Amino acid sequence: MQVQVRYFASLREALGAGEAVEIEAGSNLGQLRDALIARGGAHAQALARGRALRCALNQVMADEATVIGDGAEIAFFPPVTGG
């Protein structure tokens, strides 16, 4: 299934505004993050497990155990963002 991943703040600077990603049905946010990290390079650095990140599913804050539905919008961002 396909989802739209969006990046904010320092993640946007490192990875761009976002991308469409193909994931397996039943995947959760943590599995998506791990799949993106596995790409290596900038994704591995920006989304590394040692970094504190927040995530949202369809514009609602969610934890990494939250299951993702087809066509969902996922956002990753640092815990504190400035405006």
Q: What average pLDDT score do residues 54-80 get? A: 96
Determine the topology of domain 2-77 in CATH.
Ubiquitin-like (UB roll) (3.10.20)
Query: How far is 66 from 12, CA to CA, in rounded Å?
Result: 23
Predicted pLDDT of residue 81: 54
Q: What is the mean pLDDT of the chain?
A: 95
Give the full edge-to-edge strand order of the sheet including 54-57. Answer: 18-22, 2-7, 73-77, 54-57, 60-62
Mean pLDDT of 33-60: 97
Task: Please report which confidence band the pLDDT of residue 76 belongs to, taking 50, 70 and 90 as the band edges.
Answer: very high
* pLDDT for position 51: 94
Q: What is the 3-state secondary structure (H, E, C) of the chain?
A: CEEEEEECCHHHHHHCCEEEEECCCCCEHHHHHHHHHCCCHHHHHHCCCCCCCEEEECCEEECCCCECCCCCEEEEECCCCCC
14-39: average pLDDT: 97
